[in-house]
Amino acid sequence: MHDQVSRGTIRQHGDVLELFHGVAYGLARLSGLLKPTLELLWVEDVRRMNRFLDEKVPDVTGHLFGRDRLSLAPARSALKEAFGPVCFYCDASLPADNPVDHVLPWARLGIDGLANLVLACRRCNNSKLHSLPAVTHVDRTLSRDKSTLEQVASSILWPTQYERVVSAARGLYLGEPEGTPTWQGVRSTVLLDLSTYSPWWVEYTGERHLET
């Protein structure tokens, strides 16, 4: 923030930064570019405010932000038990070591919460990679029974991050232009068109009770 903005000024505004209309969607859309830049600036601030840190100090960036994706192996067997050993995208039967997929791409958002994880076959997983999934896939993901997800999360000590996933999905898709290709399946895409079909999570503002 600007040097002339004091902590007192921030407190007077309830410790809240209010973004102008459209800014959040723009930040989400440009997250791939902004995230590494902001991390670099943050690390520089930490070093500046902690003069005892010198160049020989181990990886400050890794300490602050982490470096590796979490191992999703613990979620695999729990999701199979809860939802069955089939691919979320094509219903193919799954082997013991199938991938666990981030529906909203990890490369874009970095969300490992259980609400963003599904079982996938290698064919679908390799085809989807970092692509933005079709809106219908996000619908199905967020419409899974929340109580079941919470039970799975509790059994493996893994956060669901449901509200965060919903907010991220809303920002991600509203920030994309109409007509953006989205991944529907292997060698299959569909163009984004929220004017024709606007999913419930785009307007989501609070708790949603799902029926089993």
Q: What is the pLDDT of residue 209?
A: 41
Q: Give pLDDT tens digits for 165-187.
A: 998 898 889 888 999 999 999 99
Express each pLDDT in 42-76 by its tens digit.
Answer: 877 887 777 766 555 555 666 676 655 668 889 99
pLDDT band at 83; cut points 50, 70, 90: very high
Residue spans of the domains in the chain: they are 19-65, 73-202
Q: What average pLDDT does this structure show over 141-159?
A: 93
Backbone φ and ψ of 47, nearest 5°: -65, -40
Task: Quick: pLDDT tens for 13-25.
Answer: 888 888 888 887 7
Q: Is the pLDDT of residue 142 over 60?
A: yes
